[in-house]
A and B are shown apart, each in its own frame.
Chain A
Amino acid sequence: MNLTYQVIALAILFSSTVTGFITFRMQGLKLAPHFGALILALIVTLAAVITGISVIVVVAAVLQVIVALTAYTQFFQILRDNFQTSPGYGAHLALVTMLPVLAIASLLM
């Protein structure tokens, strides 16, 4: 297992907490599954990078995919109907959309 992809994922998750907060605030600071998944993924990914234990890496990867999925389920309504405001969500969506690719790469390569 190449931990490099996990390190990149960690960087992205770290950055996402900032973009996530800014974005959540626009949504009214709802405590949502996505935010929960984000924090959890951040902690597990950190653990994976530090320990290198395979199981933890797998869990981290799964969580990273969940982070991306939950972002879209949460933001779907907004993306669909708010053309003008959606760009405000752009930074955060861009970041989390990178995660599934990195997650899969970290498991296969």
Chain B
Amino acid sequence: MVKTVKALGIRSPNAGILAGNVLRSLEMPGEEVRFIVSPGAEAGMDAVARKYGYSMELNRLEKDLEIRMIPSGKTMEEIDVTGETCPGPVIIVGERLSGLAIGERLKVKSASLDTLADLTAAVTASGSRIVGEETEGDRHVITVEKCEKKETPVGTLSAANRDRVLVVQSNGTGNAERAYATFIFSKVAVSMGKKVTIFLLMDGVSIARKGSAAGVKHPAFAPLDQLMDEMMKAGVTMYACELSATFRGITENDLAPGVKLAGAATYIQLLSDPTYAVVNF
């Protein structure tokens, strides 16, 4: 666990006195403490760290400084994703990261540099950062630090910060690989902190018919309905094109729970929203 203490505007030596008192009064000894201070506060902090049995790390933030006090002998959580095929690594790391507090770190190892490159893209897209890269024997290692997630207001034109994904699916239960892609892709996007919306049209609405997804099974994955359920529980929104559904005799009552009928206007609205990255399967 990491405790963050903001102590801005205080210079040395007062910052050191405050830091010492904080470290001494910790609820959970062995906790890592992250002080956010103003430039000028860092002098003397390493002495404080040593006095209380911590090692100190100094990082520059936008305006302020971050001083990390790490209890000596504390080891970071580590995971080895060697051998996992995409999207395995991204999902595993994404799930571990979501359980960490801001400022907490995680070491990820893999024999494949490409896997780590993919993971770097995934974690930086959700606002976290890579604070270290090294090799340990035959394993490449990156150290990921969880950072505060930056919110993108709906409808703004900040092209660098698209944190919504629209998955458009025009293939259905007749094509297992494509049908599975809907949810596997969504799962990765969710683990990267994206907000996912799925739009099913044409054959895609067959996935939304009550009971149909249960009949689709690919040897490498769980039955399709389980993946669909998992994504609904993770907050993914699912729409089925009303016209495509009508053509196939699917009414609102025939839809799997949680799927909503939508018209062209909804589709166009989603497509036109610049905060959505759109993918077609």
Smallest CB separation, A86 vs chain B (Å): 7
- In contact, A83 and B248 (Cβ under 8 angstroms): yes
* Given A26-B176, A28-B219; A84-B170 close (CB under 8 Å): yes
- In contact, B218 and A77 (Cβ under 8 angstroms): no
* Given A77-B173, A81-B248; A29-B212 close (CB under 8 Å): no
Those of A56-109 within 8 Å (CB) of chain B: 77-78, 80-86, 88-89
Nearest chain A residue, comparing its CB with the CB of B209: A81
Does A27 interact with chain B (Cβ within 8 Å)?
yes
- In contact, A85 and B176 (Cβ under 8 angstroms): no
- In contact, B174 and A82 (Cβ under 8 angstroms): yes
Cβ proximity bits B247-258 to A, threshold 8 Å, 1 near / 0 not: 111100000000
Does B186 interact with chain A (Cβ within 8 Å)?
no
- In contact, A77 and B177 (Cβ under 8 angstroms): no
Nearest chain A residue, comparing its CB with the CB of B215: A77
* Given A27-B216, A28-B218; A82-B206 close (CB under 8 Å): yes
Contacts of B206 in A (CB 8 A): 77-78, 81-82
Contacts of A29 in B (CB 8 A): 218-219
Give the B interface residue count (CB, 8 A).
24
Cβ proximity bits A15-37 to B, threshold 8 Å, 1 near / 0 not: 00000000000111110000000
Does B89 interact with chain A (Cβ within 8 Å)?
no
- In contact, A83 and B177 (Cβ under 8 angstroms): no
- In contact, B203 and A81 (Cβ under 8 angstroms): yes
Nearest chain B residue, comparing its CB with the CB of A86: B174
Which of A26, A77, A80 is within 8 Å of B175, CB to CB?
A: A26
A17–B216 Cα gap in the complex (Å)? 21
Does B16 interact with chain A (Cβ within 8 Å)?
no
* Given A28-B177, A28-B218, A89-B174; A84-B212 close (CB under 8 Å): no
Does B202 interact with chain A (Cβ within 8 Å)?
yes
Smallest CB separation, A34 vs chain B (Å): 13
Which of B172, B217, B219 is within 8 Å of A82, CB to CB?
A: B172
* Given A77-B206, A83-B202, A83-B248; A27-B174 close (CB under 8 Å): yes
Which of B174, B212, B216, B217 is within 8 Å of A88, CB to CB?
A: B174
Those of B216-240 within 8 Å (CB) of chain A: 216-219
Residues of B within 8 A of A (CB): 170-177, 180, 202-203, 205-206, 209, 212, 215-219, 247-250
Besides A28-B218, A84-B170, A86-B174, 19 new A-B residue pairs in contact (Cβ under 8 A), listed by A number: A26-B176, A27-B174, A28-B180, A28-B216, A78-B172, A81-B173, A81-B174, A81-B205, A81-B206, A81-B212, A81-B248, A81-B250, A82-B174, A82-B203, A84-B171, A85-B172, A85-B175, A88-B175, A89-B174
